[in-house]
Amino acid sequence: MSNRVDPNLLLELKEYGAVNTEACFNCGTCTAMCPLTSDAHPFPRNMIRLTQLGLKDRLLQSTDPWLCYYCGDCTTTCPRGAEPAETMMATRRWLTAQYDRTGRAAKLYTKETAVLSTIIRMSLLTLVLLIIYHAVTGFDNIITDRVVLNAFAPVMWVWAFVLLHFAYLGYHVLSSSLFMVKQVMQSTVEKYGQIPLSVYAQEFKTFITHYFTQKRWRDCDDAQAETRWRKHLFLVSGYVIMLALIVVFLWWFQTDKIYPIYHPQRWLGYYATVALAYASIEMLVGRRRKKEQLHRFSHPSDWLFPTFLLTGAITGILVHIFRYAGWAWPTYIIYVIHVMAMVAMLDTEVGVGKWTHMIYRPLAIYLETVKERVEQEQIAPDLVPAGTD
Ligand code: SF4
Ligand code: SF4
């Protein structure tokens, strides 16, 4: 394991939102208070120590920041006001930037101008593609005496664009995740040799379980943990449904047919919209009020994701209302704004922003399960000799 020292690590983490980390004198009270810590993972104290010592590679190889669920208990008991929960949060942002080898995540986290230019660029790209489509097929194809959304933005073209965009984003997420796997598993591989793929495959259920349930959140023992977990589950369920409707079922979801009120196309859309609107408003109001520990400090990226979600929900509701009212131009204009916002959101969040915790948290828990199994059974040396590829 590398012990390379980077004296600027603490300053670097401040750019990602760390507050007063230097005040920590390593008493360990925070770790004693943390409901999620363990002997093998004595965070947040160990993370703060690595940060203060500038041990960048050790931080990069750790999963501990992803095992913290940001309850804030550690911060309320810190005798030095060193804000350990904020250091954990900043470390997660920093890790996201490190996993992303393109450097985009680092820019988006540390430069507001990069966020703005990405939003403008991706929004304009969407608009230009739509204008090119109508310039080629003829603007008179736009029907304005009634709402025909699929004449204005044909679903198969929109779907093709969505699939291409998701293929690009999926590649990005996959390559960043593989880099994380390589870093996290490095010490285990050095000790026991290459880990057979069958071990990864057998434990993959851990990733799936934690991806969909985030159930570790319930292990926090503060009074609000269960409520926060339920709200988060509601948000995730809405997000996953909306993702499935757009990526897999857009041909079915974006239709000019008005379905009866009991039709699943309507209720799935309503459920996802309510979940996204409720969760995003709650997040934004909480950050504005700053009453809860976890809302006292907000990095710009904490505002961006819920703002995008709320924009998507509101414009989606407006498209729905205008379409049912039969107002052609208002429907088309709000639809374009909706798509522009969603494309910009995907490019500033998926693989590079706050969205990434949906992948890296369950991935960290999964990798720790794999490591534990390898260490307990010590199967790797028997199956594959150390030092071989
Ligand atoms: S962050 Fe605070 S509670 Fe934790 S070790 Fe440092 S001084 Fe102690
Ligand atoms: S925020 Fe909560 S879960 Fe995270 S380190 Fe502090 S006490 Fe532990």
Cβ burial 186-212 (10 Å sphere, 16+ → b, else e) = eebeeebbbbeeebbeebeebbeebbe
How many whole angstroms from 372 Cα to the centroid of ligand 1? 28
Which residues, 6+ apart, have CB-to-CB distance to 131 below 8 Å?
none
* Domain ranges, ordered by start, for the chain: 9-99, 137-371
Q: Which of 34, 220, 357 to mutate to test the pocket of ligand 2 (most atoms within 8 A of CB)?
A: 34
* Nearest Cα to Cα of residue 82 among 24, 32, 28: 24
User: Which ligand has an atom closest to residue 228 CA?
Assistant: 2
pLDDT for the residue 389: 40
CATH superfamily of 9-99: Alpha-helical ferredoxin (1.10.1060.10)
How far is the CA of 369 from the CAs of 145, 191, 200, 284, in angstroms? 60, 16, 9, 34
Q: Is 84 in the pocket of ligand 1 (CB under 6 A)?
A: yes
Q: Is 32 in the pocket of ligand 1 (CB under 6 A)?
A: no
pLDDT for the residue 294: 80
Whose alpha carbon is nearest atom 6 of ligand 1? 24
Q: Which of 19, 41, 51, 68 to mutate to test the pocket of ligand 2 (most atoms within 8 A of CB)?
A: 68
Q: How many residues does the chain have?
A: 389
- CA pair distance 79, 242, nearest whole angstrom: 44
Q: Is 68 in the pocket of ligand 2 (CB under 6 A)?
A: yes
Whose alpha carbon is nearest atom 3 of ligand 2? 68
| Token pair recorded at residue 287 | 């950050």
How many whole angstroms from 75 Cα to the centroid of ligand 1? 8
Which residues, 6+ apart, have CB-to-CB distance to 155 below 8 Å?
250, 251, 254, 255
pLDDT for the residue 379: 57
- Local confidence pLDDT in tens for the 389 residues of the chain: 667 789 999 999 999 999 999 999 999 999 999 999 999 999 999 999 999 999 999 999 999 999 999 988 899 999 999 999 999 999 999 999 999 999 999 999 999 999 999 999 999 999 999 999 999 998 888 999 999 999 999 999 999 999 999 999 999 999 999 999 999 999 999 999 999 999 999 999 999 999 988 888 888 777 778 888 899 899 999 999 998 999 999 999 998 888 898 999 999 999 999 999 999 999 999 999 998 888 889 999 999 999 999 999 999 999 999 999 999 999 999 999 999 999 999 999 887 888 888 999 999 999 999 999 998 887 555 554 444 44
Q: Is 71 in the pocket of ligand 2 (CB under 6 A)?
A: yes
Give the start-end residues of each E strand in 237-368. none
Q: Which of 27, 31, 88 to mutate to test the pocket of ligand 1 (most atoms within 8 A of CB)?
A: 27
| Token pair recorded at residue 288 | 């504005």
- pTM for this entry: 0.90
Q: Is 80 in the pocket of ligand 1 (CB under 6 A)?
A: yes
Whose alpha carbon is nearest atom 4 of ligand 1? 30
How many whole angstroms from 38 Cα to the centroid of ligand 2? 12
- CA pair distance 85, 99, nearest whole angstrom: 21
The atom number, within ligand 1, closest to the CA of 23 reads: 7
pLDDT for the residue 249: 93
How many whole angstroms from 43 Cα to the centroid of ligand 2? 8
Which residues, 6+ apart, have CB-to-CB distance to 56 below 8 Å?
4, 5, 6, 9
Max Cα distance, the chain (Å): 73
Q: Is 48 in the pocket of ligand 1 (CB under 6 A)?
A: yes
